[in-house]
Amino acid sequence: MKLKTSIFLWVTFATLLPLVFLVLVVTTYSETRYQEDVAKQVTRSLNTIVAEIKRRLYYEREIILDLSRLQSVENYKLVLDSINKGNINSRHFLASRRLSRFLASFQLAVPGFKTIRVIDKETNTLIMITDGKPVALKQDGYESSPFIEEDHSSTLIKNSLRILPKNEVSFLLLPQRKIDSKGLRGTPMLNAVVPLVLNKLHVGYMVVSFTGNQIDGVLNHAQRIHRGSLIIAELNPDNKERNGLVLYDDLQGISFSKQDSAPMRLQLMGGGRLWQAVHSKPDGDFYGPDKLYRTFYHDSSPYANRLVSWVVAIRIDLNEVSAPFNQIRWGIIYMAMIALLISLFIARVGARKISDPVILMSKSIKEYADGSKNIRVRSEGAEEIQQLENSFNYMANHADKTQQMLLRSAKLASLGQMAAGIGHEINNPLNNIMSLAKLILRTIPEGNERLRLDIESLREEGERATKIVKGILDFARQVPPRYSLIDITSWVEETLHLLQQAAKTKHINLVCEISQDISINGDRGQLQQVLVNIILNAIDVSKQDGDIIIRVLKEGEFLIIKVIDKGDGLPQEFSEKIFDPFFTTKDEGEGTGLGLSISHGIIEHHSGKLVLENNELLGVTATVTIPLNLPEVYQCR
């Protein structure tokens, strides 16, 4: 699989698809929670509408009840009682006109009442006010009848009126009067009836019908959550004609004050779902076909003394509720498509930025393996690629050094074996020469000073050769250190004491700086040999009256010893040869060139490092780094 394809699939499956899935899950969850909040809002709105309707009906009942208790109405009860007894005279007509004018003024002042009527106990209409105007009596040439409209209501209605409770507003469905029908199908609300009582007997009734404007005002100002449509229908099981009658519907344009001649039935609306739901449960909600809408409903009783209720319902278009979330989903789809295109572009660019350096790296590794040891790669591309390139360069650089170190180790091993053999072969003749030189000195007669001087020179050269052979043997016989606990402070002081005479000879001041008490496990004698060699070299290269600083400190788990001189420094061309055996910068005859080689081997046996480098004082700083803890080999012992 190509790198471009791999990057594209990785970006798609590792980031884009999980992100799209997560967003879709979150939007679905948010939509569900949002619909729950909408349901709560609609339910609260529905309860508020029902409460406002009840409050308005209560207000109108109180007004009608107060109206029936006015003195003008109380005085007219005597007229009703006289008419009921058949005693009719001209004063009755005068009293009717007076009360008609008062009720007309009242109707104009208090809107909401369509018709106000006063009827006798036989339901004949004596007074009738419509649209703020009294309806005139029928004229037969003279005022012979006090009735505006005579009634022939059924005995059932008359009996219903007679048993109405006193001092209360009751609601009945009275027969529609011809004079106020005007071709309409009838009022959407029942008539309010208040018994007019004289001497504890019903002498007549005040009947009020409503325009519905006040209820419409309440409903028109009610909040429609998410553009919901409001429906109100009457549930009246005792009256088949009114049972299921739609009183208010936003979609059909039906209102309490605007009624069509053709009645609208709840049973026929929306497949009768609301009709069925309200009969199974008085309050609740249900979904429409394909869940396109959701209807919330509440069964309320507007009339206190009747088994008549109104179902108030709000229908919510679910597309309206889900529209923001659908837009989000489409937006996610569009963004995903754009992201896929961007992923393709990124994959192509990313593959180029990654593959080109990788291909170059592969080519460089092959060339290096084929023998091009000087090849190096340029750091470019991503940070990880640059790390790989730097690692290759580091490997190439250190491979040369490692190879040089291996060659040096092999050379040292060979030199060691050769030196051991040569040392043993030379040492025996030297011993014989030294012994014979001592015997000859004893037998030289006095006065032959020339011969004595020659023999002395021979013995001195023999001693020098012996020292050289001893150094060679020491180099060849390097043995593993014998570890013991060393107190560094006393060890350094002891070593400096051994070197004080050599330092005084050149007027060199040895300055010791030890910051804390330090203990280390190591070979006391071998480490002392290393420090003596380093300090002697520093003394040899230092100028008179100079200082040599021996600084001892602890860094983490390591002991650091720095020997700092102010000599002439270390030439660059000597830096790679300084630890080679028999290499020396001293004059001929003054050094064997084995001191630093032996010291370097001792430090390596202690798992440490010996480094020589120039310092800012123009001299050389020799740094010995040794771990404080015992090597594993020693711990195993």
Q: What is the pLDDT of residue 482?
A: 77
Q: What is the pLDDT of residue 593?
A: 61
Listed range (43-47, 151-155, 434-438, 535-539) with the worst mean pLDDT: 151-155
Could you write out the DSSP letters of every residue in 331-398? HHHHHHHHHHHHHHHHHHHHHHHHHHHHHHHHHHHHHHHTT-TT------SSHHHHHHHHHHHHHHHH
The CA distance from 88 to 81, in Å, is: 10
Higher pLDDT, 269 or 384: 269
- 128-151 pLDDT, tens digit per residue, is 999 889 987 765 544 556 788 776
pLDDT tier, 574 (very low <50, low <70, confident <90, very high otherwise):
low
The CA distance from 19 to 481, in Å, is: 64
Residue 571 above 70 pLDDT?
Answer: yes
Residue 578 above 90 pLDDT?
Answer: no
Residue 456 above 50 pLDDT?
Answer: yes
Q: What is the rounded average pLDDT of the residues 287-313?
A: 89
Q: What is the rounded average pLDDT of the residues 152-163?
A: 80
Q: What are phi and psi of 68, to 5 degrees?
A: -70, -15
Q: What is the rounded average pLDDT of the residues 313-317?
A: 92
pLDDT tier, 575 (very low <50, low <70, confident <90, very high otherwise):
low
Interaxial angle between packed helices 318-369 and 383-443, expressed in degrees from 0 to 180 and rounded to the nearest 10 = 30
Residue 187 above 70 pLDDT?
Answer: no
C-alpha angle 99-105-111 in degrees, rounded to nearest 5: 125
Q: What is the rounded average pLDDT of the residues 194-201?
A: 92
Q: What are phi and psi of 122, to 5 degrees?
A: -95, 10
Q: What is the pLDDT of residue 530?
A: 86
Answer whether 234's CB lies under 8 Å from 245's CB: yes
Query: Of the segments 67-76, 156-165, 531-540, 568-577, which one has the largest average pLDDT value?
Result: 67-76
Listed range (283-287, 289-293, 408-412, 480-484) with the worst mean pLDDT: 408-412
The CA distance from 470 to 452, in Å, is: 27
| 86 contacts: CB under 8 Å, gap ≥ 6 | none
Residue 179 above 50 pLDDT?
Answer: no
Q: What is the pLDDT of residue 422?
A: 67
Q: What is the rounded average pLDDT of the residues 561-583?
A: 73
* 226 DSSP 8-state letter: G
Residue 203 above 50 pLDDT?
Answer: yes
Q: What is the pLDDT of residue 565?
A: 85
Q: What is the rounded average pLDDT of the residues 504-531?
A: 84
Answer whether 309's CB lies under 8 Å from 302's CB: yes
The DSSP bridge pattern shows strands 547-555 and 509-514 to be: parallel
The CA distance from 268 to 284, in Å, is: 20
How many C-beta atoms surround the C-beta of residue 269 within 10 A? Answer: 19
Which residues, in sequence order, are bridge partners of residue 551? Answer: 513, 562
| 174 contacts: CB under 8 Å, gap ≥ 6 | 123, 153, 157, 191, 193, 207
Burial class (CB in 10 A: 0-12, 13-18, 19+), 459: middle
Residue 143: C-alpha distances to residues 89, 91, 363, 417 (Å): 10, 12, 129, 161
Place of tokens 């750091």: 379
Among 136, 149, 134, 123, which residue's Cα sits nearest to residue 100?
134
Q: What is the rounded average pLDDT of the residues 223-230?
A: 87
The DSSP bridge pattern shows strands 484-487 and 509-514 to be: unpaired
Residue 230 above 90 pLDDT?
Answer: yes
| 296 contacts: CB under 8 Å, gap ≥ 6 | 39, 42, 43, 46, 284, 285, 313, 314, 315, 316
Helices (H), 69-197: 71-84, 90-109, 155-162, 178-181
Residue 513 above 90 pLDDT?
Answer: no
Q: What is the rounded average pLDDT of the residues 110-117?
A: 89
Interaxial angle between packed helices 318-369 and 3-11, expressed in degrees from 0 to 180 and rounded to the nearest 10 = 150
- 320-335 pLDDT, tens digit per residue, is 887 787 788 788 777 7
Tokens at residue 511, please?
A: 């300055």
Residue 84: C-alpha distances to residues 78, 92, 114, 120, 163 (Å): 10, 12, 27, 7, 18
Tokens at residue 186, please?
A: 């009838």
Among 576, 581, 485, which residue's Cα sits nearest to residue 524?
485
Residue 359: C-alpha distances to residues 5, 349, 352, 365 (Å): 17, 15, 10, 10
Residue 462 above 70 pLDDT?
Answer: yes
Share of the chain above pLDDT 70, in %: 78
CA trace torsion 385, 388, 394, 396 (10° rounding): -110
- 76-85 pLDDT, tens digit per residue, is 999 999 988 8
- 494-503 pLDDT, tens digit per residue, is 888 878 888 8
Domains of the chain from N-terminus onward = 214-320 (3.30.450), 383-473 (1.10.287), 481-636 (3.30.565.10)
Continuous segment of H or E residues that includes residue 497: helix 488-505
The CA distance from 235 to 276, in Å, is: 12
Q: What is the rounded average pLDDT of the residues 193-204?
A: 92
Per the prediction, the chain carries an average pLDDT of 79
| 66 contacts: CB under 8 Å, gap ≥ 6 | none
Which residues, in sequence order, are bridge partners of residue 511? Answer: 549
Q: What is the pLDDT of residue 634?
A: 45
The CA distance from 183 to 540, in Å, is: 137
SS3 at position 635? helix
Residue 310 above 70 pLDDT?
Answer: yes
- 537-568 pLDDT, tens digit per residue, is 888 888 888 888 888 988 888 888 898 888 77
Tokens at residue 333, please?
A: 């789809």
Tokens at residue 255, please?
A: 């209102």
| 100 contacts: CB under 8 Å, gap ≥ 6 | 127, 129, 134
The CA distance from 477 to 241, in Å, is: 129
The CA distance from 211 to 374, in Å, is: 107
SS3 at position 586? coil
* 254 DSSP 8-state letter: B
The CA distance from 616 to 122, in Å, is: 133
The CA distance from 79 to 196, in Å, is: 11
Q: What is the pLDDT of residue 584?
A: 65
Higher pLDDT, 636 or 545: 545
Residue 631 above 60 pLDDT?
Answer: no
pLDDT tier, 529 (very low <50, low <70, confident <90, very high otherwise):
confident
* 252 DSSP 8-state letter: T
Residue 66: C-alpha distances to residues 72, 358, 446 (Å): 12, 99, 170
Q: What is the pLDDT of residue 527?
A: 85
Q: What is the rounded average pLDDT of the residues 469-492?
A: 72
Answer whether 177's CB lies under 8 Å from 218's CB: no
pLDDT tier, 182 (very low <50, low <70, confident <90, very high otherwise):
very low
Q: What is the pLDDT of residue 426?
A: 74
